[in-house]
Structure 1
Amino acid sequence: AGLVAITAPVGTVTTPISILIGLIAGLLVVASVKFFDKMKIDDPVGAISVHGVCGAWGTLSIGLFAKWDDAFLGREDAGLFYGG
């Protein structure tokens, strides 16, 4: 789950933030597997939880934690938690 979540923001976040994103993804995957089981949605391998939910979390995390100042040729955009 953490690997799926960090795939989108990998070039825009710092190492401690990448650990946080992976940690949150780990919690999300457990909760979403339980949710989809409770809703009786057939997902025997947890693909919706891992790739859907955690992939969406990873994509959203760019807007929260991105730190572009040194990543892309002088761009100084930032995520919500870095003044963006």
Structure 2
Amino acid sequence: MTLSTLLAIVGTACGIYYTYLGVVVGGHVLDMERRKSPSARILLTGVAWSVGPGDEYSEAGKKICRKGNWVLVAGIIAWFAFGVLR
């Protein structure tokens, strides 16, 4: 396995984990209507949900946002490095 393949796998895994965290953080939204709606929870994964102050989340949600930021940065770095090596 080459380094570029490994970076692609890491980048993809980070993307999948970031999407998972986006769905999980939907359960920590302070607005009760958005928390109950599955469609609103799925929409959180479509954007950079972890970027920003996180005022719409509970304390547990803010911790997930911080973790999401690290995963997002790791994924971006992995894909950037993949592109450089290709």
More contact order relative to length (CA 8 Å, sep ≥ 6): 2
Bucket of the pairwise TM-score, normalised by the shorter protein: 0.3 to 0.5
User: What TM-score does the superposition give when structure 2 sets the normalisation length?
Assistant: 0.41
User: What TM-score does the superposition give when structure 1 sets the normalisation length?
Assistant: 0.42
